[in-house]
Amino acid sequence: MLRRRVVITGMGCITPLGHSPGELWPALLEGRSGVAPLTLFDASRFPVRIAAEVKDWSPRNVGIDGRFLDNAPRQTQFALAAGLQAIRHAGLPSNRVSPRRLGVYLGVGEPFEDFTRFTASISDAARGGACADDAFLSSALRIFDPETEREYEPHRPATHLAGLVNAQGPVLNCIAACASSTQAIGEAARLIRRGEVDAMLAGGAHSTIHPFGVTGFHRLSALSTRNDDPRAAVRPFDADRDGFVIGEGGAVFVLEELEHARRRGAEILGEIAGYGSAQDAFRVTDSAPDGRGTVLAIRRALADAALNAEDIDYVNAHGTGTLLNDRIETIALKTTFGPAAGRVPISSTKSMLGHSTTACGAIELAVCLMTVRDAVVHPTINYATPDPQCDLDYVPNVARELDVRHVLSPSIGFGGQNAALVVSRFDESSRSAAAQRAA
């Protein structure tokens, strides 16, 4: 018996290099950087003053209405905007999609409270004649009311998306650090394969560009401090890398069972051929030096896709630009591909978009789909000085034309979380044979 195949019929994204896949893709191929001086708060006294912000952002630019969005966290706005794009791209909602057979699975992390509104409210109260304590209490009651607090719960974007499409199936959120949205997409695909649903909205969104986010990651020695040269700050796999740059954004996809998509005449963008996840079981702060969790997640994804490592044409790496992460990911890829590791083109989307934490895997899936579609691999920018311990083909600085059938997209999360997807060009004959082997 053939297992149910999962295809992608819609996608949307909000990123520092564009508010849609159509805006993002040419910027990546040109090697443009989304990193710039930080503007979302006053960082003039911070040791890190750069970020990859979503620029010129308004949720109404992409057709979302609703006054609550003005006070909703940025990641909620990104998730809904990307989700609405994906829904429209896929031609949903449709009376041929049963609400009870439609679900949502996102990877959205916890947001930080909006200090800007809070401090502005204190100032307003003080100007009105309130003493300092009364101004603080008044502002707290106005800003941190139950309705506002509810919008800061991580599952809220998923419930809002469910409301947009009347999804009455599973509505879930995954928090697995930087592997969150990759894991959410993989688990959504599993729900479809098991026959529990016919379609899912899956992806992720996040923003940690906030005083707490910048301070926390800096104290972990994870962030680049190249404040004077933002474009060159993220240097994945380069010998002179000094950390990642915080990014933000989101991406959402419509996943469907193949026959369900066919019946409604949907365009098929690609196939979720394989998914795997694993835990390092090493430390809460860093990955195992041998990359064992990443290797296991990749091997499980390949087995799920009924593919061998040599079938992979391109790897969209996690590639954060931190000293240890890039080295460990290189070890994991060498372990996976063996002597053939040097032949596989690898590039880091984060070299241009920064690290959007729980959203990164979803955004990178959009990049994988466009790579397969257009037969071109975007570069890893800022690669200038080879690292003897990172000695693979990282597609340095210039995009490369390449016929890509199968893409591997691994995500490596804080605390040893690992997830990997294999994304394939939809091919009726070759994939049905693979599906038979996997069944």
Residue found under tokens 């071109």:
376
Whether 104 is in a domain gets the answer yes
Least confident of 152-156, 236-240, 288-292, 421-425: 152-156
139 plus 65 within the same structural domain: no
Whether 233 is in a domain gets the answer yes
Is 318 one of the catalytic residues? yes
Whether 285 is in a domain gets the answer yes
Distance of alpha carbon 302 from alpha carbon 304, whole angstroms: 5
Q: What is the pLDDT of residue 118?
A: 47
Whether 393 is in a domain gets the answer yes
79 plus 122 within the same structural domain: no
Domain termination residue (choose one: 98, 125, 149):
149
Q: At CA 93, angle to CA 87 and CA 97, rounded to 5?
A: 120
Point out the catalytic residue in the list 355, 378, 390, 406: 355
265 plus 133 within the same structural domain: no
- CA-CA-CA-CA torsion for 241, 246, 248, 254, nearest 10 degrees? 50
> Domain tally for the chain?
2
109 plus 250 within the same structural domain: yes
Is 206 one of the catalytic residues? no
138 plus 222 within the same structural domain: no
Could you tell me how far CA 296 lies from the centroid of its own chain?
Answer: 21
Domain region containing 121: 115-149
Q: Is the pTM of this model over 0.75?
A: yes
Structure confidence at residue 119 as a pLDDT band (50, 70, 90): very low
Whether 1 is in a domain gets the answer no
Point out the catalytic residue in the list 19, 318, 378, 406: 318
Q: What is the pLDDT of residues 333-372, one digit of tens each?
A: 999 999 999 999 999 999 999 999 999 999 999 999 999 9
Q: CATH code at 252? A: 3.40.47.10
43 plus 140 within the same structural domain: no
Distance of alpha carbon 79 from alpha carbon 85, whole angstroms: 10
Whether 161 is in a domain gets the answer yes
Domain termination residue (choose one: 98, 123, 149):
149
138 plus 173 within the same structural domain: no
Q: Is pLDDT above 80 for 284? A: no
Distance of alpha carbon 350 from alpha carbon 364, whole angstroms: 9
Average pLDDT over residues 420-427: 96
Structure confidence at residue 288 as a pLDDT band (50, 70, 90): confident
Q: What is the pLDDT of residue 134?
A: 52
Average pLDDT over residues 169-182: 96
Q: 326 vs 35, 301, 316, 391, CA distance in Å?
A: 19, 20, 13, 11
320 plus 363 within the same structural domain: yes
85 plus 225 within the same structural domain: yes
Backbone angles phi, psi at 428, to 5 degrees: -55, -50
262 plus 355 within the same structural domain: yes
230 plus 370 within the same structural domain: yes
Q: What is the pLDDT of residue 72?
A: 85
Distance of alpha carbon 270 from alpha carbon 7, whole angstroms: 6
Is 355 one of the catalytic residues? yes
Q: What is the pLDDT of residues 224-272, one digit of tens each?
A: 999 999 999 999 999 999 999 999 999 999 999 999 999 999 999 999 9
240 plus 124 within the same structural domain: no
Distance of alpha carbon 160 from alpha carbon 80, whole angstroms: 7
Point out the catalytic residue in the list 19, 89, 160, 178: 178
Do 205 and 106 meet the contact criterion of CB atoms below 8 Å apart?
Answer: yes
